[in-house]
Structure 1
Amino acid sequence: MAPYALIAEPDPTRAAGLLALITGEGLEGVVARDGAEAQEVVRQRNAPLLLVTDLALPRVDGFALLTWLRERGDATGTQVVVVTAFDELRVRAWQLKEALGIHSLLSRRAAPELMKDTVKRVLAGQRSTPPFLGEPTTEPEGPRLARIDSMRLVDEGPPDAELQALVAEVAQAFGVPVALLSLVLGDRQWFKAHVGLPPSLAKDRGTPRDWAFCHHVVQGRESLVVPDAARHPVFRDNPLVREGIVGSYAGAPLLTSTGEVLGSLCVIDTRPLMLGAEDLAALRELARRVAEDLEQKARARQGAQLQAQQAGQARQPPLPEGGALELLREAVRALDVPALLVAPGRRPYAGNGALADLLGLPAERIPGMSLETFCQHVAGLTADPAATLRQLDLASESSRGLHLTLALERPQPRRLRWVARPFPVPGGVAQMLTLSDLGGAPPPREERERLPRMDALTGLDTRRVGEERLLREIGRCRRDGVPFSVLLVDLVGLGRINMERGFDTGDAALRDVARRLEGLRAPPGFAVRWEGGALLLALPGIDAEAAEAVRQRLHAVLGTPKVVSASVSVEGEEDPQSTLARAQAALTRAKAELRSSHPG
């Protein structure tokens, strides 16, 4: 059969461009719009001479496609060029280039001349340089975040009813339990509208940014589809995937008329997602319309505010020169206490030198910031920016003030008191925000002792305490010349239980598994709440055969929550972290086998 080039690309316009490039090199080109279609082409025609593929393919992603291709005996000579918009996917693919047989990796934004030259070199048997060389892909965050601030998209009120109805319709149309309208902020993603989320995520209306699949949509400025997150080399360790909340994902960028990506309109399922290229195109079109609607509403809101301001100015005499806010500005500057004057409308108006020194923030920048941006800067100086950001705010205008305590880690460790007090000024209610230094952060030892040593839900040791005990017990067993094993257990479908039956039911199931483990241990063994739905049983003095017997006893109990498990024993002078890594790998294999035997 004649040699050919296979192009796996869901976007018709880009596929046509690649096809023209391939035919220009004298090769027959065949286009597949998703990974499953590409597999079918190979089955019918055998492996291609050249494969040009994206990594974010519908139905079967690019990583899975390449893995499958390399298992074929006729694919040893196939040259592979990967083109993708997503930096983290591209880096991971380069790390796996030998196993996946990748000869070149390019950014989606690579110039046509570079693409043409790369194809020529790959066909000539030359491998390319590492990714990112000379290819800046990440755009500055400032303009994008400023656009979100200027459109006033983030608020503390309930989700907009119209947007809620929209995401509910999207979830129903795509046949998935979860749909989100997600804005990607500095350190977190925030759900402007959502349907189908577990109660904890719905209450917080967001997650840390490094958990967010939507972060990749913003970074890549492209639609992202992850058909099977649990098997994906980039996303399988994501906390939302480990918890069973995200099994698959498809998201399209909310792109403004001026080119900023605000976030994503996305759909999520707990199972592998079988959306095709046409579905992805429909999601992109919906996201485009939503972005247009958000812009129109922002313009209307800004116009109404301007009219109201103009009407208010017409009714009230203008403040005299050196009026209330200007007088207060000078008073703030004279204070030795770090202070910020916030004008009506939650606009930072003036800060002083003490505030600038404390936060490492130039005083002249403050009047140009939104309050959200200011709070993001302060939260970024703490150990847990996402959690801190949820606390930081101004007082209610009718209250006597807001008082918070927070611990900074930068520029130097210290504890602060955040106090916001409202007061009337001509034209509205202003606020004075002061930050009082309560002294240095607790010493490391005191801080460690303050942390909880028992998991409140299960009554078991926390992971931090468990790791300390593991190190001690493994060392003791080595000195005494006795074996040491661990049993790692995961509650099957905890995320689904939480979503379908509520978190109280999920918590009860986890406590049940914890009691079963406690009943299997013999002193000095101990059980640990490891992470999420995973628990660990340490078995000092137990060899591999006896540990397997303990594991079988765990599964012999009928009528209790279903679990998947794996046991391993310490080998020789093996590092404890290596033992735990083998246990985690064995558990991952066991979970994969369970999914393949019970796909529903």
Structure 2
Amino acid sequence: MVRYALIAEPDPQRAAGLLALLTAEGLEGVIVRDGAEAQEQVRQRGAPQLLVTDLALPRMDGFALLTWLREQDGAAGTQVVVVTAFDELRVRAWQLKGTLGIHALLSRRASTELMRDTLRRVLGGQLASQAPPDEASSEQEKQRLASIAAMRLVDDGPPEAELQQLVTEVAQAFGVPVALLTLVLGERQWFKAHVGLPPSLAKDRGTPRDWAFCHHVVQGREPLVVPDARRHPVFRDNPLVRDGIVGSYAGAPLQTSTGEVLGSLCVIDTRPLVLGVEDLAALRELASRVAEDLEQRARAKQATAQAQAAPVVSEASALALLREAVQALDVAALLVAPGRRPHTCNAAMADLLGLPSDAFPGMTFDAFCQHVASLTTDPAATLRQLDLAAGASRGLRLTLALERPQPRRLRWVARPFPIPGGTAQMLTLSDMVSPRPPREERERQFRVDALTGLDSRRFGEERLLREIGRCRRSGMPFSVLLADVSGLGRLNATRGFDAGDAVLRDSARVLEALGAPTGFAVRWEGGLFLLALPGVDAERTETLRQRLHATPGVPAMASATVTVEGEEDPQGTLTRAQAALTRAKMEQRPPHLP
């Protein structure tokens, strides 16, 4: 048996945390993202001393992986720790612990201390006990159901056309026959939107909660993937599986801004489902956006209901009430008063269209449409589209291609609703290319260096200080590698800034790869990069520094390393690193000039 630990974990942050714990125990850790990658690693390197795995892995689930592993030569002594968010999967795994060779089961929400203690006990040859289920309290469940009721998400009407279009697009994007937007209620799951269901389920728009795969997503608060439900020890006896309706499943939680999980956005196939980690991440991002949209719809409905419930409220009072809802939205939004009068917009709309917020109340709606059209390549054709959108009594959705202030594709959605004095309209513009709402995009620009894609210095320094503190509390080493590209100014002067930028981007990629999977790189300033290495001691850091200079194609660099000493102030560590780099530059012979 090879002395290494195999970590099968789709989430890179959690995988990095597990790797740090195992490195501290003296094991070489190898991270894989799904069950198929884990199989390939075992084939190449042999059975590991320790396997830490989730049960809900893409491509091959944890149960199938453990069954396969126990059939391999030399794997009888492999110790197994299961870490998963799903209680019923964990209970079933514990029932099969003898067959699957499981030594411990933990919740994803287990503390670092419990995780470390469990790993040490298993490595020491002890059989750890099962962690208790993470059952939500009755109060939490009441609050979750109250949120669904307050948002008025369940109704007797047909599925909304916009949500039906969404699930249709999701099914097409993932290449599956069925996609659902589900709400998990007290005793049943209810399909708010659906495509591809058998007629009986489509008519009932739901199933008992006991049948619902989405129930597990709500309980675990994490995405769940079941690549082959017919062979899965938890789901193979599910009535939907026995009837051939569900052969495989992947679902992501609809989580509100206050933390309640309403249900799931899921895809279903009658055959085994081959979804990778990137696919699962995309589904999770879509679910997050859908949950945000449902919240926005609920706020708009609540504001409309309040306005309608008080007939003595004036038009001005109703608009003032709605103004707060508009300002709270992350998506670009404009409130249009009766008579097609732009009333108020949020900061996201102003940023998107390059207009100051105070310009909107003084505009006519025609002037607003003309401004939007002027940002496109064909203003006349766009203006005709917008006139149609503005005049539609039931609202309209259309797609716009803006060239200014920057090229982007936008979805225009107009939703009319009555208020005292007439019909108002909520107009939203959402970016169809970038999934990030404007607020998140602004935060991303603060965090990320635009040229290299690395952490910016300001964000990287904050992250560095946090990681040093974390490693100190955990008793782990922490090292820093500084690397400064030599002759960058001369390169820019002789070959142009494009050449210099290319060198910086290439250097960033090399440093990122060098620090993977637990380290992170920061563009400190100019041609100076910092590589933070949590869990790495001085000797290994020096090895990495030498590997950096030996990498083919890496430009000439001056470099230096330091390791945090005792309770040294983190700023003191950075000062020592800068001093060491200065000495390295002085000792380095100047590069030969052409």
Corresponding residue for 1:144? 144
Tell me if structure 2 keeps the 8 A contact 1:94–1:131: no
- Which residue number corresponds to residue 50 of structure 1? 50
Matches within 5 A, 1:239-254: 239-254=239-254
Query: Is the 8 Å Cα contact of residues 54 and 83 (structure 2) preserved in structure 1?
Result: yes
Residue 189 of structure 1 contacts residue 209 of structure 1 at CA under 8 Å; is this kept in 2?
yes
Shift of 1:20: 1.0
Shift of 1:282: 0.4
| 2:135–2:219 contact (8 Å) kept in structure 1 | no
Residue aligning to 1:128: 128
Note if 1:74 corresponds to 2:74.
Answer: yes
Partners of 2:135 and 2:214 in 1: how far apart?
20
1:196 aligned partner, one-letter code? G
- Matches of 1:312 and 1:288, distance apart in 2: 38
Paired letter, 1:111: S
2:209 paired residue number: 209
Counterpart of 2:30? 30
Shift of 1:314: 6.9
User: CA separation of 1:278/1:150 partners in 2, compared to 1, >3 Å: closer, same or farther?
Assistant: same
Q: Measure, in 1, the Cα distance between the counterparts of 2:129 and 2:113.
A: 16
* Shift in CA distance, 63/43, structure 1 to aligned 2, threshold 3 Å: same
Residues 91, 131 of structure 1: 8 Å contact kept: no
Task: Report the Cα distance in structure 2 between the residues aligned to 1:180 and 1:25, rounded to whole angstroms.
Answer: 44
TM-score normalized by the length of structure 1: 0.51
What is aligned with 1:168?
A: 168
**Residues of 1 paired with 2:44 and 2:137: CA distance?**
40
Instruction: Give the whole-Å Cα distance in 1 for the aligned partners of 2:54 and 2:162.
Output: 35
Instruction: Within 5 Å, give how 1:415-494 maps onto structure 2.
Output: none
Counterpart amino acid of residue 273 in structure 1: L
> Aligned ranges for residues 195-274 of structure 1 at < 5 Å?
195-274=195-274
What does 1:181-200 correspond to in 2, within 5 Å? 181-200=181-200
Structure 1 residue 307: Cα displacement: 1.5
Identity of aligned residues (%): 78
Report the equivalent of 1:431: none
- Tell me if the contact between 1:58 and 1:226 (Cα under 8 Å) persists in the aligned partners: yes
| Match in the other structure for 2:61 | 61
Q: Which amino acid aligns with 1:26?
A: G
Letter in 1 for 2:103: H
Does the aligned pair in 2 maintain the 1:46–1:74 contact within 8 Å? Answer: yes
* Residue 22 (structure 1) shift: 1.1
Name the residue aligned to 1:41: 41
Distance in 2 of aligned mates of 1:189 and 1:200: 15
Q: Distance in 2 between matches of 1:26 and 1:131?
A: 25
Extract unaligned runs of 5+ from structure 2. 316-594
Q: Which amino acid aligns with 1:10?
A: P
How many residues of Structure 1 are paired with residues of Structure 2 in the alignment? 314
Q: Which amino acid aligns with 1:270?
A: T
Q: Separation in 2 of the partners of 1:59 and 1:225?
A: 9
Deviations 1:14-61 (A, max 9, x none): 111111111111111111100000000000000000000000000000
The structural deviation recorded for 1:94 is 0.2
Q: C-alpha separation between the residues in 2 aligned to 1:104 and 1:35?
A: 19
User: 2:137 & 2:109 partners in 1: Cα distance?
Assistant: 11
Alpha carbons 2:81, 2:102 under 8 Å: kept: yes
Q: Which amino acid aligns with 1:145?
A: L
Return the alpha-carbon distance in structure 1 between the equivalents of residues 80 and 282 of structure 2: 29
Residues 193-230 of structure 1, C-alpha deviation per residue, up to 9 Å, x if partnerless? 00000000000000000000000000010100000000
Q: Within 1, Cα distance between the matches of 2:164 and 2:52?
A: 39
Counterparts in 2 of 1:321-400, with a 5 A limit?
none
Distance 1:312 1:228 in 2: 59
SS in 2 for 1:75: coil
Q: Note the alpha carbon deviations across 1:204-260, whole angstroms, 9 max, x for none.
A: 000000000000000010100000000000000000000000000000000000000
Partner of 1:92: 92
**Root-mean-square deviation (CA), in Å?**
1.4
Aligned pair in 2 of structure 1 residues 314, 173: CA closer, same or farther (>3 Å)?
closer
1:131 shift after superposition: 3.4
Answer yes or no: is the 8 Å Cα contact 1:184–1:218 preserved in 2: yes
CA deviation string 1:309-348 (max 9, x = no partner): 2334679xxxxxxxxxxxxxxxxxxxxxxxxxxxxxxxxx
For the structure 1 residues 122 and 210, does the alpha-carbon distance in structure 2 shift closer, same or farther, using more than 3 Å as the test?
same
2:19 aligned partner? 19
Map 1:281-360 to 2 at 5 A. 281-312=281-312
